[in-house]
Amino acid sequence: MLVKQLVFCFFFAVKILNRKGVVTAILGISAFYHDSAAALVVDGEIVAAAQEERFTRKKHDAGFPSQAVAYCLSEGGLRPEQLDTVVFYDKPLIKFDRLLETYLAYAPSGFKSFRLAMPVWLKEKLHLRRTLRKHLAGADRARLVFTEHHESHAASAFFPSPFERAAFLTLDGVGEWSTATLGTGEGNQLTFLKHLLFPHSLGLLYSAFTAYCGFKVNSGEYKLMGLAPFGQPVFFEQILKHLIDLRPDGSFRMNLDYFNYCQGLTMTSEKFHRLFGGPPRKPEALLEQRHTDLAASIQKVLEEIVLRMARETHRQTGMTNLVLAGGVALNCVANGRLLREGPFENIWLQPAAGDAGGALGAALFVWHQLLDKPRQPASQDSQHGSFLGPRYGSDRIAAFLTDMKAPYEKPDTEDELLTRVAHLIGQGKVIGWFHGRMEFGPRALGARSILGDARNASLQSVMNLKIKFRESFRPFAPCVLLERASEYFDLRPDQESPYMLLVAPVLEKHRTPPAPDDRENKPAAGDLLERVNRVRSTLPAITHVDYSARVQTVDSQRHGRFYRLLKAFEKLTGCPALINTSFNIRGEPIVCTPEDAYRCFLATDMDVLVLEDFILVKEQMDRSAAQAAHQRHLSQFEPD
């Protein structure tokens, strides 16, 4: 009680200060699990947000986000002393309680995983106040606040959304105890109505199949989703019969005999392996039909659960808008179905839906929910296109290119620049595109992107194998002018998807008839590359085997120069879409600085690099430098 009163007094004092015109700076932090990040909110405005991996070049970096914090403060023009609140995105003591209880429930069989987890808990996580103070030298005046994991996710979904009122759904692996929640956001307050608790978790269920199919947990879920359309959901009934007890409201209980994450170091148990016909696939081993069928089956189960939960959320709240966050909200195939099949009229998805976004949500939670500050939803949203990271000016880039002795072109006007780039794309060149503030969240949205001509049938395999060095089956996504998106994809004319989190079918009129074996969704998985390369539409490079596409809509307000580039390409070719994939190779975080972009460009078969106003063409460069860079760059990043 005393603690509550003290917290109240603190926030009351902050309110009084604010009446005198003092700004309130809140720094949100997520760290120590995966995808560490920092976010800065000043007087309710999202000023900056970035993931630590982009600076350290270590994918999913889980360390304290020192560089992301330093960046956020510099973007806001603040010193650590000027921070009012530092908020951590979950409550470590409750999490530790869950860890202990789980261990005791399975003791002694979980001792090995418990022993491995303990040192980092004892060293850092249990003493998080001390750890945060240690890392945030100078911020002694700032109050430390800890929000619950799903409060952070729900806040990241609702507060930046364009809605005055919305239902929310958070879906992830696990936070403290909650694994999924639903509730409402109204004005500046969130209300939680229902929780699903550990060990029953949609995120962990999907991750178990991710691991079983040979992909990394917390990063390979995307690959499993991309693999699903190659298979048939033949294990759907088996999963529902043996693995989970699914109820009409979308809640479920998992049969823990089939899983090992409570007590072991693996996700699945021997019983799971017996049920699905063998041991887990080794990373990089051949993908068999069984794996594609498993991917299709668990994807169908996930969609069924998400749709049921959404219907339950709608039933309980009666609202017409839905917002989503949590790692499962990155499953854009499920999101696409949710949008098409209802029951909600409008959906907004937090682009940094995973734990990185928890830093932003926690900061917004303090501002609105705890400080009770009013909220004025913006007509699009308050996420600023998720361009919340650092930008690098032309002067710095010019100096860098001079240092590198790199030949470049610098057109006099933006028009000339965009026309030149549009021509290069039209000629089949692959472009590294670096412009403006870096994206916050896992997707490249036109600030740190690799672009290509979506009409070019050979580009998918070229880009997968020679530029990204990744698995041949993985699809690429299109970016498309918002005003023309519904001409190509099954989307409402006004439906935005600025964060590339919705999968929509390519319209029939753009499809080419399937080959007979394609229609039956055969042959076996060994021929994935051959199947990927078949032309399925007038935009073959971005049309997946099931005629779907993960669409990003591009509009003039959010996307500025990137929008104008698409307009230039449309003017030249009539086509309003491009391939848009993240600017990195497999295992590498998306590039952050011009130096990162230049290294990645040199090391791959990318043809052109556009660094703000400068164009570099590989053909005009010294090939030996590129060849030397190739191995050096690749050796830095472990394939994910």
Residues that bind Fe ion (CB under 5 A): 172, 355
Alpha-carbon distance values, 361 to 36, 131, 154, 275, 579 (Å)? 13, 21, 7, 40, 30
Contacts of 348 (CB under 8 A, 6+ apart): 157, 161, 162, 163, 166, 321, 322, 323, 324, 381
Closer residue to Fe ion (CB): 355 or 546: 355
Facing residues of 183 across strands?
A: 168, 192
User: CB nearest Fe ion: which residue?
Assistant: 172
Residues in the chain: 640
Q: How far apart are CA 434 and CA 612, in angstroms?
A: 6
Closer residue to Fe ion (CB): 172 or 612: 172
Q: What is the DSSP string of 313-340?
A: HHHHH--SEEEEESGGGG-HHHHHHHHH
Shortest Cβ 69–Fe ion spacing (Å)? 20
Shortest Cβ 219–Fe ion spacing (Å)? 14
Closer residue to Fe ion (CB): 53 or 355: 355
Neighbours of 574 (CB within 10 A): 8
Closer residue to Fe ion (CB): 181 or 543: 181
Shortest Cβ 183–Fe ion spacing (Å)? 16
Closer residue to Fe ion (CB): 355 or 490: 355
82 burial type by CB count under 10 A (0-12 exposed, 13-18 middle, 19+ buried):
middle
Closer residue to Fe ion (CB): 361 or 390: 361
Closer residue to Fe ion (CB): 303 or 355: 355
Shortest Cβ 251–Fe ion spacing (Å)? 18
Closer residue to Fe ion (CB): 60 or 536: 60
Token pair of 128, please?
Answer: 């998080």
Contact (Cβ atoms closer than 8 angstroms) between residue 351 and residue 317: no
3-state DSSP call for residue 244? strand
Pairing of the two strands 478-481 and 165-171: unpaired
Shortest Cβ 360–Fe ion spacing (Å)? 13
Closer residue to Fe ion (CB): 154 or 459: 154
Shortest Cβ 390–Fe ion spacing (Å)? 25
Name which of 71, 65, 126, 64 is nearest 97 in CA terms: 126
Shortest Cβ 456–Fe ion spacing (Å)? 38
Closer residue to Fe ion (CB): 172 or 490: 172
Shortest Cβ 179–Fe ion spacing (Å)? 9
Closer residue to Fe ion (CB): 170 or 495: 170
Alpha-carbon distance values, 536 to 125, 270, 465, 545, 548 (Å)? 50, 40, 20, 8, 10
Calculate ∠ Cα 472-386-594, nearest 5°: 65
Shortest Cβ 386–Fe ion spacing (Å)? 18
Beta-carbon-side half-sphere exposure of residue 457 (alpha carbons within 13 Å): 10
Shortest Cβ 158–Fe ion spacing (Å)? 16
Q: What is the DSSP string of 339-384?
A: HHH-S-SEEEE-SS-STHHHHHHHHHIIIIIIT-------SS-SSG
Pairing of the two strands 165-171 and 189-197: unpaired
Contact (Cβ atoms closer than 8 angstroms) between residue 536 and residue 511: yes
Shortest Cβ 152–Fe ion spacing (Å)? 8
